[in-house]
Amino acid sequence: MFRGRLRKGLHPSVVRHITEPYLRAARVELPHHLDIHRAHVIMLAEQQILTREEAGKILEGLSEMDRTDIYAGEMDVGTDLYMNVEEQLIRRVGDVGGKMHIGRSRNDLYATSVRMETRKQILMTAAQLLDLLRVVLSIAEVHAETVMPGYTHWQHAQPVTLGHYLAGIAQALGRDLGRLLAAYDRTNCCPLGAAALATTGFEINRERVASLLGFDRVLENSYDAVASRDFLAEVAAALAILMTTLSRLAEDLAIWNTFEFSVVRMPEEFAATSSIMPQKKNPIVLEHIKGRAGHVIGALTSVLAVLKGTSFSHSRETGGETSGGVQAAFGLVQGCVEMLTELFPRLSFDGELMRRRAWEGFSTVTELADLLVRRGGVSFRQAHHIIGQVVNELMDKSQGVGELSSAMIDQAARAVVGRGFLLPQEEVRRALDPLATVMARDICGGPGSRAMAAAIEAQREALERAGEKLSSLAQGLERARAACREAQSPLTSGIGRG
């Protein structure tokens, strides 16, 4: 029955390596298949393609299957999930069960179920990411004045605050959240009714099925509906970019956790020790996050590599080989986001050491160059040369920034531009103060207190809007399920099977 015109069964090696693993993996999509069957049968009845009695019997059989674990029964591993569901349905309701497949194909069925599972995973991932963002922003606000050295090329650059750094991470994660929600929009289109690739001669109502399944719209062109998996590539790209952001964050935290930096301490619940070295507290969670970013990037590469060599039509590459890596990537991303959400409130930052490092590493001398421009009437490039010479002099003498004086600046200026500057020592000292330097940078996007407060408030408002959108999307799916139950009720009331 399952093999149609083919007179021989599948070779055991094909069953072992293709159909049986695919049937196991398809378990996650079974609820979507049953929802699709209900919506399709309801539509067939409304279009008078099935009688009310036929539709009622099929729907009652599907409900019975939903109440039991069909995987607990005997499954034919030589075929796919749909054919097993149909066979079990026919056993329950008789040959009328075979009418469920009118006006569609497995091609559009599986194209629909993978979109339903993908949109579900997008919403789950986005909700978790929203939680992480709220945690990061709350910690950023606490550390809005915790001065630390900012780094470029892993060298001291200019002083910032830990809050400014974390707000930057949150801003990047906010874009990652936006990419997921944008991908949801293009995922939530319904291919059902495309059939194999050319639709059907039955007068079906594709829009009705899309509505009952919670889709925003029909994916109109039937060829495109079964041939395209670009939504999976888009989702995989969004996940890969998100994991890249998380991996870069994990890299910073891992380095800050080293003895040489010692500005962050990992909680013991997120660390492991050595089998031989008693002193070790290894940041294994951070290492796994960085490693798993590679697997998620691999999922994107996998989708694109599979699709690039396929014809623009339905095939087993398109329908069977594209989604597995993406669904696995969702699990990896969700796990990493959850661990970071739990880890962040337990991290301990050494604010005093950060502040001292910002003072020790010449990270404030850019403000001195700016002071020369404002007070001395020189170009920034000239000021850059003057202060660079002062830094060289101090480093040659193994002196720190605390020994930098107005007289040294005056002497370097005479050598560079031929005239000196008698800057008050108090102004020099103020320019070298890390906190004062940070607070002076109070323009849009800077680490100053007013700029930071405005940025965090704007980010919180954006998260509120994202949360409202997520809630609206979830409620839309629930309303569709309720509409499907309501449409099914009059068809199944009083139905008995003979």
Catalytic positions: 153, 274
CA atoms within 13 A on the CB side of 302: 21
Ranges of beta strands (E only) in 224-345 are 264-265
Q: Are 159 and 438 in contact (CB under 8 A)?
A: yes
> Around Cβ 274, how many Cβ atoms within 10 Å?
10
Structure-derived torsion over alpha carbons of residues 75, 77, 79, 81, reported in degrees to the nearest 10: 50
Q: In angstroms, rounded to a whole number, what is the distance separating the alpha carbons of residues 312 and 305?
A: 14
Q: Alpha-carbon distance 34 to 497, whole Å?
A: 19
d(CA 88, CA 82): 10
- Asked whether the beta carbons of 36 and 109 are under 8 A apart, the reply is yes
Joined tokens for residue 466: 């994202």
Alpha carbon distance 127, 337 (integer Å): 10
Structure-token pair, residue 213: 């399944």
Which structure tokens are listed for 427?
Answer: 């102004």
Q: Where do we find the tokens 């196991």?
A: 24
Contacts of 94 (CB under 8 A, 6+ apart): 57, 497
The residue type of 257 is: N
